[in-house]
């Protein structure tokens, strides 16, 4: 197993080309600047993932956001080796994923990595408890141990009392809790989520996002999370990648992306985002100034938290960094400026 | 396209003027000879060649042993024990009415006095279905997991269902002889395809996400198969068993030709003795057996979480012991056979009724019979044999195939039709084809209007549908019995029976097509002020046309399947030849007939499917 300083997940120039034929030539075409549609016409092949590189640190939540068909599922399936990438390197804490044989891969999946699926991927013929215990059963762990472990996880995700039901007797949100519990039961270091909440109603989705945030606070897993919902990406991601036509347009923290979208495509998503909810006070701080009144705010707080204060009294507020040192002030003008940009 | 079509038309005219009338015997390629030689070789070596001594004969003994064991168990059991077991198994699903009905169906054969015949048939079913499961499930799994196996299996499975049963009975008789075991083997071959198909389907239908999830937890291929794919395929597999049972029951009558005995033999005799009443009563016993096996197997399919009667383990043991005691006591008291038989009291009035019908309506049935035979069948035969040249027939068939399905199908059709001639069965094929066309034509006239009418009356259809479906479980010979009574032996009872046999699925498919027409299209037509009539012809029927063509296709296949039965009641044609070949036994003739029927069925099937596809609205790519 790799050392702590190595990223938990590291992808270098990963490509995936679907369709029969000479994929190397297709990759050359794509590198030469041909679009996906042109390549599909010429070669009948689809470039689903196009030269993607990124790394995820231990305990980080990395969100990949993109619209339908952008290649997100393909990417995460390469990462779990449900499909083989056409080209590129993937390493997990320094171990070469693509060099693993079937047996090593199985070992990896049995303990280090697990996945939550968009349409839950539950086993309809097994009770909730047996669904959750599946990963342990595959590892031939004895029955009493795995039932105990599964019951514990069941309670963690808030499904106490549902153990003996079948998946289709549960609501969508509860089914996905089972999916989540099943993935957690094997105690994996890496969790992969392929649009886990897309099939749920907005309210339930919000609830599940909060649940995941809550769990992640205590468990600190390395998470790769796929979504087509930009708001969800902003809410969950430590860092976000915006994917379009198989490649990444931009990688950055939510704040970096919202304050400086790299391409017009990314800007389109950013435009709909209420900045006050994403940007921190730090981004509107006027450095070097100071004020005499006693109102202070942390630099990492979101802008929305200071709007009531500024409305209450039009006086600057002192901004404090993590060490409680004053680094400047915010006032109505600086906040108004950044919110104004949203209108354009 | 137009130019090519007119070219083909010219070709037909040319073929007609230059060709030969009928199919000359000199062109017979002598397909039969090597097969007849093989037959005599088998005859000579049946007792001492190693293949028989060490492989086929021991195999027969094993099957015979299975048949005997099942049969002796059922014969030993007092009649009420199976009824109780069936009731208990079905009642677990809490459907008490169905359970009672199934139990009564178990009793029925005893009630009409064919208890022991039923046991023979059930034993044959049990052994045949068991072998089907033994072979079919692994094959199905293989086909689902290995695309290559599927590609190899598909044409074989398709072929197995179009070859008339009498034809592949021939090699079975040749290699295995006559008796219950060969009959069981024949039944296995006939009933195997749905087992393989539905197992494969069940495995393929397992949600991909479930398999991927299992993979992601590091399950091995074997673990995935055993813990995910197979359990999820169980409902489909049981449906497969169910279908297999139905198929197997479908040939109980034909299986008597190789010595199956049992209910089939009874039915066969009633035809010979012209006793439609008894035929009906015995046939209902076959239906009862089908019904019981169907209900029992369906009650075994569990939807996860479905409400079932829970039985404590102790209660279960106690009732099993109780049942065993009841069996022994029943045995000791001699309550083994059903205590009384009402068979004749049902059968006789029906027989009398038919006799009365026959004499009373002779004024109608006689002319009808004569009209069909003289004006249609005989004329059609003279037309094909003496007026049209065979080259023109080939050219016309090829032209039609070209029009609906392009040049590949056209080539296939031309070769196929010519080949039928080359085997020397041209006349028989023409005979069967004209009878088929007449029967299909009548079926269309009846089934389509009813189907179209029913399609818009879902409530009435909900009532009629189960009746129509039940018709399909009746052995096809049974359809012929009353009509033999009415029309006397000849092609007409076969045709009428085929019509009756083919109509139910025709109605079902047509009404399905009408019902599935997109409601929005109909509403759109209404908002444009279309009349009811315009909506029916311009929208509903138009959009349902592909389904209607498929309904016709289904009817053609059903009518062809009746060809043998038709041969049994004096219809002539390929059906009659196949029986001749079997009773001969004349394997050479059998192969000729088999090929001719398969080619004919394949061509008709493909052409009609292609026609249906042509009528489908183009789909955006
Ligand atoms: N097995 C496959 N064979 C051929 N092409 C495929 C295959 N799987 C995906 N593709 C193609 O690759 C592209 C990316 O598909 P992918 O499923 O990764 O998109 P996605 O971003 O997950 O979309 P969605 O939001 O709809 O799930 C699509 O154009 C798709 O048609
Ligand atoms: Mg996807």
Give pLDDT tens digits for A244-264: 999 999 999 999 999 889 999
Q: Report yes or no on A12 lying in a domain.
A: no
* Residues A71 and A205 placed together within one structural domain of the fold: yes
Show which of residues 186-205 on chain A sit within 8 Å of chain B, judged by CB atoms: 186
Ligand 1 midpoint to CA A46 (Å)? 9
Check whether residue A293 and residue A162 sit in a common domain: no
Q: Average the pLDDT over B160-185 and give the result.
A: 80
Q: Is residue B35 part of a domain?
A: no
| Number of the ligand closest to the Cα of A67 | 1
Q: In whole angstroms, give the CA distance from residue B246 to residue B250.
A: 6
Closest ligand 1 atom number to CA of residue A75:
18
A72 lines ligand 1 (CB under 6 A): yes
Residue A1: per-residue pLDDT: 43
Token pair recorded at residue A340? 């104004």
What is the rounded distance in angstroms from the CA atom of residue B254 to the CA atom of residue B247? 12
What value does the mean pLDDT take over residues B260-275? 82
What's the mean pLDDT when you consider all of chain B?
Answer: 83
Tokens of B496: 């009428």
Tell me how far CA of residue A7 lies from CA of A50, A57, A190, B112, in angstroms.
Answer: 22, 5, 12, 81
Q: Span B284-288, mean pLDDT?
A: 85
- pLDDT in the model for residue A221: 92
Residue A9 within a domain: no
- One domain for residues B270 and B133: yes
Same domain, A292 and A247: no
Q: Are residues A280 and A262 in the same domain?
A: no
Question: What CATH number does the domain containing A302 carry?
Answer: 3.90.1280.20
A41 within a domain of the structure (yes/no): no
Please determine, for residue B305, whether its predicted confidence score (pLDDT) is greater than 60.
no
Please tell me whether residues A156 and A61 are part of one structural domain.
Answer: yes
Same-domain status, A142 and A282: no
Q: What does the pLDDT read at residue B162?
A: 67
Nearest to A23 by CA among A88, A89, A68, A105: A88
Three-state secondary-structure class, residue B490: coil
Q: Which domain does B516 fall in, by range?
A: 361-389+437-614
Say if A291 falls within a structural domain: yes
- Does a structural domain hold residue B231? yes
Interface contact A25, partner B, CB < 8 A: no
Q: Cα separation of B477 and B472, whole Å?
A: 12
pLDDT at A340: 75
In the structure, how many helices (H) and strands (E) does chain B have? 31, 0
- Rounded distance between C-alpha atoms, residue B22 and residue B264, angstroms: 39
Range of the domain at A161: 56-89+100-273
Atom of ligand 1 nearest to the CA of A16: 12
Which pLDDT belongs to residue B620?
Answer: 41
CB contact under 8 A, B212 and A169: no
Torsion angles phi and psi, residue A114, rounded to 5:
-145, 170
What CATH number did the domain enclosing A172 receive?
Answer: 3.40.50.300
Looking at residue A2, what is its pLDDT? 43
Predicted local distance difference test score (pLDDT) of residue B562: 83
The verdict on residue A24 lying in a domain is no
B528-557 residue pLDDT tens: 777 787 888 878 888 888 888 888 888 888
Reported ipTM: the value is: 0.77
* Residues B339 and B455 both lie in one domain: no
CA–CA min distance B285, chain A (Å)? 37
- Provide the percentage of residues in chain B whose pLDDT is more than 90: 13
Asked if B371 and B297 sit in the same domain, the reply is: no
In the predicted model, is pLDDT for residue A33 greater than 80? yes
Span B433-474, pLDDT tens digits? 889 989 999 999 999 999 999 988 888 888 887 787 777 766
In chain A, positions 83-142, which contact chain B (CB-CB < 8 Å)?
105-110, 113-115, 117-125, 134-135, 137-139
pLDDT band at B618 (very low <50, low <70, confident <90, very high): low
Residue B391 pLDDT exceeds 80:
yes
Look at residues A273, A291, A313 and tell me which one is the last residue of a structural domain. Answer: A273
Tell me how far the alpha carbon of residue A66 lies from the centroid of ligand 1, in angstroms: 12
Residue B470 belongs to domain with CATH number: 1.10.3720.10
Total number of domains in chain B: 2
Q: For residue B417, is it within any domain?
A: no
Sign for the CA dihedral angle at A130, A134, A140, A142 comes to negative
pLDDT for the residue numbered B621 = 37
Same structural domain for residues A243 and A118?
yes
pLDDT at position B1 over 70? no
Residue B6 lies in a domain: no
Q: Where does the pLDDT of residue B304 fall: very low under 50, low under 70, confident under 90, or very high at 90 and above?
A: low
pLDDT, one tens digit per residue, over A109-142 is 888 999 998 888 888 888 999 999 998 988 889 9
Are residue B84 and residue B221 in the same domain, yes or no?
yes
Mean pLDDT of A48-53: 95
| Edge-to-edge strands, sheet with A61-66 | A113-116, A190-194, A222-227, A61-66, A239-244, A247-252
Question: Is residue B147 one of the residues assigned to a domain?
Answer: yes
Are B558 and B512 members of one domain? yes
* Residue B395 within a domain: no
Residue with the smallest CA separation from ligand 1 atom 7 is A18
Does residue A36 lie within any of the structural domains? no
Q: Which residue has the higher pLDDT, B586 or B499?
A: B499
B325 or B346, higher pLDDT: B325
Q: What is the percent of chain A with per-residue pLDDT over 70, rounded to a whole number?
A: 98
- Choose from B218, B233, B234 for mutation: most chain A CBs within 10 A: B218
Q: Based on the domain organization, do B341 and B365 belong to the same domain? A: no
Q: What is the predicted pLDDT for the residue at B48?
A: 75
Question: pLDDT: is A143 or B517 the higher one?
Answer: A143
Backbone angles phi, psi at A84, to 5 degrees: -90, 130
User: What integer pLDDT is reported at residue A342 of this predicted model?
Assistant: 57
Looking at the structure, tell me whether residues B491 and B590 fall in a common domain.
yes
The pLDDT tens digits of the residues spanning A175-190 come to 999 999 999 898 899 9
Does B378 lie in the same domain as B330? no
Shared-domain flag, residues B317 and B367: no
Both structure tokens of B454: 């029913």
Query: What's the whole-number mean pLDDT along residues B366-386?
Result: 85
**DSSP structure string for B291-338:** HHHHHHHHHH---TT-------HHHHHHHHHHHHHHHHHHHHHT--S-
Please tell me the predicted confidence (pLDDT) of residue B537: 81
**Looking at residues B305-320, what average pLDDT do you find?**
77
Query: Is there a contact between B217 and A134 if contact means CB atoms under 8 Å apart?
Result: yes
Judge if A321 and A185 occupy the same domain. no
DSSP A275-303: HHHHSBGGGG-EET---SS--EEETTSBG
| pLDDT band with cut points at 50, 70 and 90 for residue B513 | confident
Query: Over chain A, what is the mean pLDDT?
Result: 89
Are A206 and A330 part of one and the same domain?
Answer: no
Clarify whether residues A244 and A284 are in a common domain: no
Q: Let me know if residue A109 belongs to a domain.
A: yes
Query: Could you tell me if A62 and A206 lie in one domain?
Result: yes
Residue B109 CB partners (closer than 8 Å, separation 6+):
B115, B117, B118, B263, B285, B288, B289
**Taking the mean position of all CA atoms in its chain, how far away is CA B581?**
21
- Gap between the Cα atoms of B153 and B196, Å rounded: 9
Q: Are B285 and B114 in contact (CB under 8 A)?
A: yes
The last residue of one of the domains, among A219, A246, A273, is A273
CA of A23 to the centre of ligand 1 (A): 16
Residue B124 lies in a domain: yes
Same domain, B186 and B310: yes
Of A105, A114, A125, the CB nearest to B232: A125
For residue A135, the chain B residues in CB contact (below 8 A) are: 217-218
- Ligand 1 atom with the shortest distance to the CA of A72: 21
Residues A226 and A172 reside in one and the same domain: yes
Among A74-88, B26-40, B267-281, where is mean pLDDT lowest? B26-40
């Amino acid at each position: 197993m790799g050392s702590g300083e190595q990223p938990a997940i590291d992808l270098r120039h990963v490509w995936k080309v679907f369709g029969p034929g000479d994929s190397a030539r297709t990759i050359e075409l794509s590198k030469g600047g041909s679009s996906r549609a042109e390549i599909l016409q010429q070669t009948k092949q689809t470039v689903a993932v196009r030269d993607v590189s990124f790394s995820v640190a231990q305990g980080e939540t990395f969100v990949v956001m993109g619209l339908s068909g952008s290649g997100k599922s393909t990417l995460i399936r390469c990462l779990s080796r449900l499909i083989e990438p056409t080209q590129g390197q993937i390493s997990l804490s320094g171990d070469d994923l693509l060099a693993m044989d079937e047996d090593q891969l199985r070992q990896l999946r049995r303990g280090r990595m697990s996945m939550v699926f968009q349409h839950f991927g539950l086993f309809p013929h097994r009770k909730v408890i047996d669904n959750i215990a599946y990963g342990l059963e595959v590892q031939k762990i004895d029955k009493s141990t795995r039932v105990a472990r599964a019951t514990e996880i069941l309670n963690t995700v808030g499904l106490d009392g549902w153990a003996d039901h079948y998946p289709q007797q549960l609501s969508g949100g509860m089914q996905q809790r089972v999916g989540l519990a099943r993935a957690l039961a094997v105690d994996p270091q890496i969790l992969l989520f392929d649009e886990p909440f897309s099939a749920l109603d907005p309210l339930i989705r919000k609830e599940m996002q909060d649940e995941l945030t809550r769990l992640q606070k205590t468990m600190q897993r390395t998470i790769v999370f796929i979504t087509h919902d930009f708001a969800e990406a902003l809410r969950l991601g430590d860092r976000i990648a915006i994917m379009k036509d198989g490649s990444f347009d931009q990688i950055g923290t939510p704040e970096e992306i919202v304050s400086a979208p790299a391409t017009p495509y990314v800007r389109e998503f950013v435009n709909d985002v209420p900045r006050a909810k994403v940007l921190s006070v730090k981004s509107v701080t006027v450095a070097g100034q100071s004020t005499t009144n006693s109102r202070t705010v942390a630099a990492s707080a979101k802008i929305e938290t200071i709007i009531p204060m500024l409305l209450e009294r039009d006086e600057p507020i002192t901004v404090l960094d993590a060490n409680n040192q004053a680094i400047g002030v915010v006032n109505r003008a600086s906040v108004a400026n950044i919110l104004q940009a949203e209108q354009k | 396209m137009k130019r090519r079509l007119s070219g083909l038309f010219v070709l037909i005219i040319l073929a007609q003027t230059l060709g030969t009338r009928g199919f000359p015997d000199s062109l017979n390629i002598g397909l039969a000879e090597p097969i007849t030689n093989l037959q005599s070789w088998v005859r000579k070596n049946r007792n001492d060649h190693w293949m028989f001594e060490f492989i086929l004969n021991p195999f027969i003994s094993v099957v015979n042993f299975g048949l005997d064991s099942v049969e002796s168990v059922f014969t030993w059991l007092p009649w009420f024990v199976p009824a109780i077991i069936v009731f208990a198994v079905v009642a677990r699903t809490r459907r008490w009415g169905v359970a009672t009905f199934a139990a009564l169906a178990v009793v029925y054969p005893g009630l009409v006095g064919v208890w022991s015949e039923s046991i023979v048939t059930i034993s044959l079913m049990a052994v045949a279905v068991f072998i089907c499961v033994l072979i079919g499930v692994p094959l199905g799994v293989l086909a689902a997991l290995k695309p290559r196996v599927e590609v190899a299996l598909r044409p074989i499975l398709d072929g197995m269902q179009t070859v008339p049963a009498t034809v592949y009975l021939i090699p079975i008789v040749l290699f295995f002889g006559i008796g219950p075991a060969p009959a069981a083997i024949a039944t296995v071959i006939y009933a195997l395809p749905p087992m393989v198909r539905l197992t494969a389907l069940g495995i393929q239908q397992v949600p991909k996400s479930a398999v991927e999830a299992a993979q992601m937890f590091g399950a091995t291929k074997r673990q995935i198969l055993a813990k995910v794919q197979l359990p999820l395929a169980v409902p489909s597999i049981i449906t497969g068993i169910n279908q297999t049972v139905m198929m197997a029951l479908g040939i109980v009558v034909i299986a008597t030709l190789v010595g199956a005995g049992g209910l089939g033999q009874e039915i066969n005799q009633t035809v010979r003795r012209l006793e439609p009443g008894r035929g009906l009563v015995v046939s209902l016993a076959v239906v009862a057996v089908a019904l019981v096996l169907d209900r029992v197997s369906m009650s075994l399919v569990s939807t996860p979480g479905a409400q079932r009667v829970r039985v404590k383990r102790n209660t279960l043991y106690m009732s099993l012991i109780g049942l065993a005691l009841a069996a022994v006591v029943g045995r000791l008291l001699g309550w083994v056979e059903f205590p009384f038989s009402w068979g004749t009291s049902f059968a006789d009035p029906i027989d009398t009724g038919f006799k009365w019908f026959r004499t009373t309506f002779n004024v109608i049935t006689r002319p009808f019979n004569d009209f069909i035979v003289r004006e249609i069948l005989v004329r059609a035969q003279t037309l094909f044999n003496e007026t049209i040249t065979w080259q023109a027939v080939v050219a016309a068939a090829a032209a039609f195939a070209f029009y609906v399905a392009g040049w590949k199908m056209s080539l296939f059709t031309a070769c196929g039709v010519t080949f039928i001639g080359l085997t020397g069965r041209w006349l028989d094929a023409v005979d069967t084809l004209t009878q088929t066309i007449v029967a299909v034509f009548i079926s269309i006239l009846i089934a389509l209007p009813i189907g179209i009418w029913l399609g818009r009356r879902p409530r009435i259809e909900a009532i009629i549908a189960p009746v129509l479906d039940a018709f399909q479980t009746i052995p096809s010979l049974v359809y012929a019995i009353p009509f033999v009574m009415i029309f006397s032996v000849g092609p007409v009872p076969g045709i009428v029976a085929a019509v009756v046999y083919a109509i139910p699925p025709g109605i079902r498919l047509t009404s399905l097509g009408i019902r599935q027409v997109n409601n929005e299209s109909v509403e759109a037509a209404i908002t444009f002020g279309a009349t009811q009539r315009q909506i029916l012809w311009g929208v509903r029927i138009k959009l349902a046309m592909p389904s209607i063509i498929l309904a016709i296709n289904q009817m053609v296949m059903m009518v062809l399947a009746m060809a043998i039965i038709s041969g049994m009641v004096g219809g002539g044609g390929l059906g009659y030849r196949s029986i001749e070949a079997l009773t001969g036994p004349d394997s050479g003739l059998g192969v000729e007939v088999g090929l001719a029927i398969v080619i004919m069925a394949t061509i008709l099937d493909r052409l009609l499917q292609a026609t249906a596809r042509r009528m489908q609205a183009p789909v955006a790519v």
